[in-house]
Structure 1
């Protein structure tokens, strides 16, 4: 313990405190001891903590949080750390604070530019699966007695022939500061060329195969103007996209790989191992059937793991890209950017870069870094930390930080609150309320986050697409890799036959559903037409009914009018006959004759005129029959 701390502890047991004797006993200054004991001054550590933006506990929590994010492959940026500090303290820090802060903790924290990597790849870095993968590889290599000179890794790499990688350069600082220098110039030609490359565990490699981008699918002579068949061995082909496909992958297997590796395998009597990624041009039934039939076992890496397990990715392709960029950059320097880079220039740059990258040293180092040869799984499972520049770390605090209590440790929290605060004081009540509120909020947030994670996993399962043919053969016990041995190939064939049968059944079912749907549609169409005809017939019937009703109403109106006219005439003649003294019978006869004449004049003739709409001839109403007198 520090002498001043020991003296302070001794003073706590004295009543009254004797500063002089205690100072002499622990060999410390009396005035310093007195001021410290009376609270007028504090220790250097406490002073630094008081004037610092973050307390020691906050710094420890922030470091722990950064470690947790790093484990998730989500290390924060400087700006994110600034936001974290603001969330913890409520204050914004100056622009250099984060740099100064992590350098203060350089024993546990670092800062560097990191290359982005897909999260699927980081999730695939699973020691459990990797250990199963290495166990399977070791078992199968021993089972098939495969020697290192018969173990190969094959993969493809694409080139945008005029696009360069990032390089460190020397430039005029003034132009850079004022913004005149935007970046390093490049040709920018984005024609795509794919390299099919393969390396052997004994440090050798196979001749490269290049797939040029050409609409016709043919290789042009001008593209190979720098190729010397007598001293250079390479293979060339073309595709509309410049990418590999199933046919080109099979051609490479039969015409490049088999021809150049058969002799080392005692002309095909020994098993060869070809390790590939899960690309469709490498893993299809045609490729696998031919390989197994010719004593070639195919191993497929676990998904999203080639950045860690594949020798070509780990130790060869990156220097190849760097050397290619150097060659193109040198060419641009010579030509001052006045001459465009085309496909006819590619092979010249590529061949130099290929020979620099595909060296025995690089190839052997690539196999070693992936733990395959010499066989050493611990290289991947227990990697050594990278050596860093020695820095003088900040001395750790004299007392190790205590583990913070969990929100579930309610009993311990209550005991500490009882021991340090008063239940009756206003400050004590406020502190207790705050502590319990924060603890409850933390528990609730944990439950909420847990529920959201479950919901997110369920949603991802819904979106999971159907697995490919060989994907279904992956097993967790084998590290999710695929060893396509004859037995596994037979399983793949059976699975393919099953899928084809299911696809046929699905196709037949779809055709039947389509036929039934068309039949139902036709029946519905006929039913619609029948309902239409019925509606039209009903419409005609309604029109006939309306016409008949209108005619009946018209006749009724005419009859009523006729009746009124008769009554009117009767009254008229009745008055006239009374005044003239004519006989009643004579008057009636005259009225009838007059009305009949009027009626015949107004109405069409019964003989000549057309019948009424209902088809009946017009007749004198029955109630006039009593007034008709037969006159001879």
Structure 2
């Protein structure tokens, strides 16, 4: 039951009048749920819903109104638990003054259907005749149909936005990727609840599949792949597909009425919804930063196929068309479209609430004011602010995870694709490639990549070896240089040592020669002294004899000379030299005197 905000605010004012409010009594007075009143008064519910509303407002301003499922996911992120399936609708009703849900059409997908009653009766008559004639059972009744995907165009879904933006008329369409790369699907379902693996035809200018398109295709997956210039099917593709699947009773789309096509009635709509939910998730998680491409199509399509083509949906599709079990009134007595949902009642405007601090600066100011003048109302506002900030943190964390996933997807999408080489020589006829052919092409491509990697590793190894050889050669050259320098230094030192020894030897030789010369002079002088001993005695005696006749100076000299000879001769080499000179002079003088 929707809760009137004015009633809630009136109950909160009543609670503020007392120190400890009696939630049961006040809730009974205003006909409210006690838990709802307690949570709103304590600032738990309002802050979370306001945080959710703010996130809706932010994304709406970016032309990304949220779907009901995304709003439900946000609520679960904030409160940390699962909410029931009707939570989003109740949330929009509770916040009717600010939020509104509406269908936003990306393209006009209304399709004119010509339904002629006699033709439908004729169809069922032919069908029952064939079933009875050939005893055909449910496991041999199949419906084959094709469907096209413009991989970047989203489905019209109900979006949630602020009431102000809705009334302004600015938001009339939701942003979508817009990629118009076309891919055809050939689908076939059986009345026993099974489905034949899907066949996809990619748009390829080269006529060959790219490995990046099937990067997420694993060995466990079952599907057939083909390619054409425009991504359309053809008779050649249909014929080759029949050869692969074998004989079956096919209910084929003749474009007369889609009411007798189980694929259209019970599967394709669910498949489209699941697929568009996948691309909406990618767009929402990335904040519109990741664009859709053929390399992302298989992963999205695979998840959508597994969700939509389940046995219950296939059984229901055949049952609603009246084909199996055979029941023509299921179509002939079909009821017309349901009436339009009446517009919601106008709700009263949301009453003003006290301003609550949400920024760090206002929080600090609010805290100082609370310390100076504490009150119950300020404590309630502080609790409300904390709850809101916690909810914003949960939303930011959820968005960060989405952006991280968007970066991973974008990095994967930008990887350059390579041709798988599946088409062979003949590319004119439609060709289907199943898991075996794709795996064979992948193995061949893996071998080529392995050979390329081995060649690259060999080149790198050769480059490393050349670097090692060059380093060794350089090291040897450096070692040889060092050895030559050491040898040169040793030779210089030896030469210097030899020169030093030569100098020492020459000095020693000079000293020895000097000593020998000196010794020879000394020996010569002593020889002269020994030879002139008699001469000395005669001179002395001669001196004494001429003592009386000579002058005083001569006497004194001769006396000194005699005294020195009496002492035994000169006492040193210098004295000897002087004595020798004096001696010769005296002898010369004596000679002249005589």
TM-score between the two structures when normalised by the length of structure 2:
0.38
Higher RCO, 1 or 2 (CA under 8 Å, sep at least 6)? 2
TM-score by length of 1: 0.36
Pick the structure with greater CA Rg. Answer: 2
